[in-house]
Amino acid sequence: EAGVAQSPRYKIIEKRQSVAFWCNPISGHATLYWYQQILGQGPKLLIQFQNNGVVDDSQLPKDRFSAERLKGVDSTLKIQPAKLEDSAVYLCASSSHIGMNTEAFFGQGTRLTVV
Amino acid sequence: AQRVTQPEKLLSVFKGAPVELKCNYSYSGSPELFWYVQYSRQRLQLLLRHISRESIKGFTADLNKGETSFHLKKPFAQEEDSAMYYCALLHSGNTPLVFGKGTRLSVIA
């Protein structure tokens, strides 16, 4: 099966600029996650969607980050305005459903550098 | 709050030597534990989960609730095992994975 697709792979922007990332999950996967992975750390959840509804966005910095999943398929994550500390790899993952014993499938990630 | 601790950032072993990647967690309930692996230039992928009690690529992990540990073990390391390994916890059905900081395993020929 095709994997989780993300674009772009790399992005370099200046601080205070805006940036958007796109994710296409595995076909039929109802649950979609955005994780932020800062260098030297493990992935940290930003937001979790179930179909087109938000399940958990408690760790999303809502003053600058936003995410949507229109029609319950593709998703976009936006940062506006970006700060230096937003430099990280942004990972999208999907799973067939929410529940125990559910495997999450990850995309290649988007590496963001804010200068 | 749930927490996953991987005490070693880097672990170097010789080919053929035993490997143990440590993982401890803090959660009072009955979590589900996973090991994810990321090989060079590849995406993060599931290696194994405790509920399956399986051996994948020679790796095993046993959940020890008394010690709140889920260490990953392999009796004889191979060069292709070199990668980043992340321990992760799922504490209920509608919550996301919580990851540790990861351990980089380097197997030396």
Contact A66/A83 with Cβ under 8 angstroms? Answer: no
User: Between A and B, how many CB-CB pairs are < 8 A?
Assistant: 56
Q: Residue A106: which of B45, B94, B96 has the nearest Cβ? A: B45
DSSP letter for B56, please: B
Q: What is the pLDDT of residues B12-45, one digit of tens each?
A: 999 999 999 999 999 877 888 999 999 999 999 9
Q: Is the pLDDT of residue A79 over 90?
A: yes
Burial annotation B40-61 (CB, 10 A radius, 16+ → b, else e): eeebbeebbbbeeeeeeeebbb
Looking at residue B83, its pLDDT comes to 97
Percent of chain B with pLDDT over 70: 98
Q: Residue B96: which of A42, A56, A108 has the nearest Cβ? A: A56
Q: How far apart are CA B108 and CA A33, in angstroms?
A: 35
For residue B103, which of B51, B35, B25 has the smallest C-alpha distance? B35
For residue A46, which of A36, A54, A38 has the smallest C-alpha distance? A36
**Greatest extent of chain B over all pairs of C-alpha atoms, in Å:** 43
